[in-house]
Amino acid sequence: MQTTSTTRTYAIDPAHSEVLFAVRHLMIAKVRGHFTGVTGTVTLGAGDVPTAIEASIGATTVSTRDEKRDAHLRSPDFLDVANFPHLTFKSTAITGSGPEFTIVGDLTIRGTTQSVTLQASVGGRATDPWGNDRVAYSASARIIRSAFGVSFNAPLETGGVMVSDEVDITLDIEAVAVPASA
Supply the mean pLDDT for the chain: 90
Q: What is the mean pLDDT of residues 131-142?
A: 96
Give yes or no for residue 18 having a pLDDT over 90.
Answer: yes
* pLDDT at site 59: 95
Q: What is the mean pLDDT of residues 65-73?
A: 92
The residue count for the chain:
182
The rounded Cα 41 to chain-centroid distance in angstroms is 12
* pLDDT at site 165: 85
* pLDDT at site 29: 84
- Percentage with pLDDT > 90 across the chain: 74
Return the bridge partners of 21, or none. Answer: 33, 169
Q: Who contacts 93 (Cβ-Cβ below 8 Å, separation ≥6)?
A: 103, 104, 105
Residue/partner pairs of 26-34 with CB below 8 Å, 24 or more apart: 26/156, 26/160, 26/162, 27/156, 27/159, 27/160, 27/161, 27/164, 31/64, 31/69, 32/64, 33/62, 33/63, 33/64, 33/65, 33/70, 33/73, 34/62, 34/63
Residue/partner pairs of 110-114 with CB below 8 Å, 24 or more apart: 110/79, 110/80, 110/83, 110/84, 110/148, 110/149, 110/150, 111/83, 111/84, 111/149, 112/147, 112/148, 112/149, 114/143, 114/147, 114/148
The rounded Cα 19 to chain-centroid distance in angstroms is 5
Query: Topology of 8-174 in CATH?
Result: Lipocalin (2.40.128)
* pLDDT at site 98: 78
* pLDDT at site 151: 83
| Segment 115-130, tens digit of pLDDT | 999 999 999 999 999 9
| Segment 145-174, tens digit of pLDDT | 999 988 877 766 777 667 888 999 999 999
The domains of the chain are located at 8-174
pTM: 0.90
